[in-house]
Amino acid sequence: MKSKGSIAIGLILIITSQLLMSFGYEFLMSQQPIDYAHWALLIGAILMFGLWFHLPSNFSKNIGLTLMTFGIGGIVGMCVLDFILWASHSDPETKGKLFEIISNTPSIQYSFLIIGPALFYTGICVSTYGLFMNLKWQVIIVNIGALMIGLGHMVLHNGTIPVVGAVLLCIGLFSILGILLPKKE
């Protein structure tokens, strides 16, 4: 599969994951036979590696996509933690101990629940800054979308805001990639 198609699938999976997460904690814990929300986020984030091949080379791309790559590591770690919590849902005592361990271990909590995901979305934003002169509204939409995802989850604790943010991020990146890539004739 060409990486442009991979990016499109990745963005759709990120929207899907945000939508599933917006249904709340109990919904996430009741997903069967797998945790669809976190699998969609995990696969979607990994597919964003394709941005390395489709954004034009410039200083902001290299910095941004390096940050994004570290952020993908954070997303992977976060998803692994969420898979373990999801799997232990039927055992509240074990799950409570796991929550306590995660909460009391800053190297896990900050790396995988706060900084890692923030680096992922920040990296995508920074990678587009070099395109601002030619693609102003697209870069602004990408940045607003990423900001909405972070604020919705971390500050406002509102599940709807990240969904709208993921849609905006997708629209902005689709528009950027559509303009930059040659059209097939």
pLDDT in tens, the chain (185 residues): 466 788 989 999 999 999 999 999 889 988 999 999 999 999 999 999 988 888 888 889 999 999 999 999 999 999 999 999 899 888 889 988 998 999 899 999 889 988 999 999 999 999 999 989 988 999 999 999 999 998 998 888 888 999 999 999 999 999 888 865 555 54
- CA 135 to chain centroid, in Å, comes to 22
| pTM over cut 0.85 | yes
Query: Is there a contact between 116 and 71 (Cβ–Cβ < 8 Å)?
Result: yes
Two structure tokens written together for 54: 């489709």
Residue 134 sits at φ, ψ, to 5 deg, of: -100, -25
